[in-house]
Structure 1
Amino acid sequence: MLLRIAATAELGTLLVLFSNLATVHSPVVSSAIGPVHGCSYLFVIVLAIREARSAGTRLAALVPGIGGLLVLRRLATERQHGRAS
């Protein structure tokens, strides 16, 4: 649950930062959203290390922006294969 929230925040804040950069480039938006993006990125990495079994899933968390979503997908696959065994 926490990983899903952090992954969504990571992607959402990155989209806001890119939108701001492409349009008005307001320093206020960058100052407010930048740290939130950084924290959510770090949360994704830490939570992936905690929850994932495979090194590939842990490494997927390092992909900026979509790493959290990649980890969620890989974790779902890991759990599905774990139950089938």
Structure 2
Amino acid sequence: MEYRRFRFKNKNQLHRVIFGSDTPTVQGYFPVGVQQAVKFYSSLANIPAEKAIAMAKGNTYDYYKKWIKTGKIQEGLEADCLIIDKLPGWN
């Protein structure tokens, strides 16, 4: 398990990791399958959160860029992810 857990990181192959989920998407329900996968992988492989989020968004875009226009922070692409430090009015 230890080898499988870190082999992409140790071989400098993090650009090959794509996160996904089979959680159904319905109106009024926000699936968190990918979010949980990113948190899990980040904590197990000791990868900084910003790197794990970039893997989840950017790697998926690189693979599906023929069909989608979201996933990277780049001119001409649509936004699909918000990073919020804290909610206004909350400490």
TM-score by length of 1: 0.30
Kindly indicate whether structure 1 or structure 2 has the higher relative contact order, using CA contacts under 8 Å at least 6 residues apart.
1
